[in-house]
Amino acid sequence: EVQLVESGGGLVKPGGSLRLSCAASGFSFSSYSMNWVRQAPGKGLEWVSSISPTGSFIYYADSLKGRFTISRDNAKNSLYLQMNSLRAEDTAVYYCAREPSGSYYDSWGQGTLVTVSS
């Protein structure tokens, strides 16, 4: 069974940093692109970032303006999102999602809540 488990969310002050993790199991992690998708409270879904199976190709939403960095460790079956210079508008549930290359998301984690507030 495919499992994606996010962690690392919490309360952080504006301007602060946070690192999210996503632990994957039940499939060949190194064969899939992986993504982060977020959802602000009461709002819709917003794609954040994507990383290819080997990490060679990385894409970000234009709105992030270089503040976030996606990475992966295939030896540990883990996906990461380093978030810097956090703003109130970054407050959201952050989901990791599996992507059969260049396409839709066929499995999602349960999400981790990031709250940016003073």
Partner 1 sequence: EIVMTQSPATLSVSPGERATLSCRASQSVSSNLAWYQQKPGQAPRLLIYGASTRATGIPARFSGSGSGAEFTLTIGSLQSEDFAVYYCQQYGAWPPAWTFGQGTKVEIK
Nearest to 66 by CA among 82, 79, 89: 82
Closest distance of CB 89 from partner 1, Å: 17
Interface pick for partner 1 out of 71, 91, 108, 115 (rule CB under 8 A)? 108
The residue type at 85 = S
d(CA 93, CA 90) in angstroms, rounded, equals 9
Report phi then psi at 76, rounded to 5. Answer: -105, 5
Coil, helix or strand for 62? helix
CA–CA distance from 22 to each of 49, 78, 88 (Å)? 13, 6, 23
Taking the least distance from each CB to partner 1, the nearer of 90 and 99 is 99
Binding residue for partner 1 (CB under 8 A) from 5, 61, 64, 113?
Answer: 61
| 50 sits near partner 1 (criterion: CB under 8 A) | yes
Q: Is 105 in the site for partner 1 (CB under 8 A)?
A: yes
Residue of 10, 28, 59, 88 that binds partner 1 (CB under 8 A): 59
Length of the chain: 118
Nearer Cβ to partner 1, position 75 or 102?
102
Establish if 89 lies at the interface with partner 1 (CB under 8 A).
no
* Residues contributing to the site for partner 1 (CB under 8 A): 35, 44-47, 50, 59, 61-62, 95, 102-111
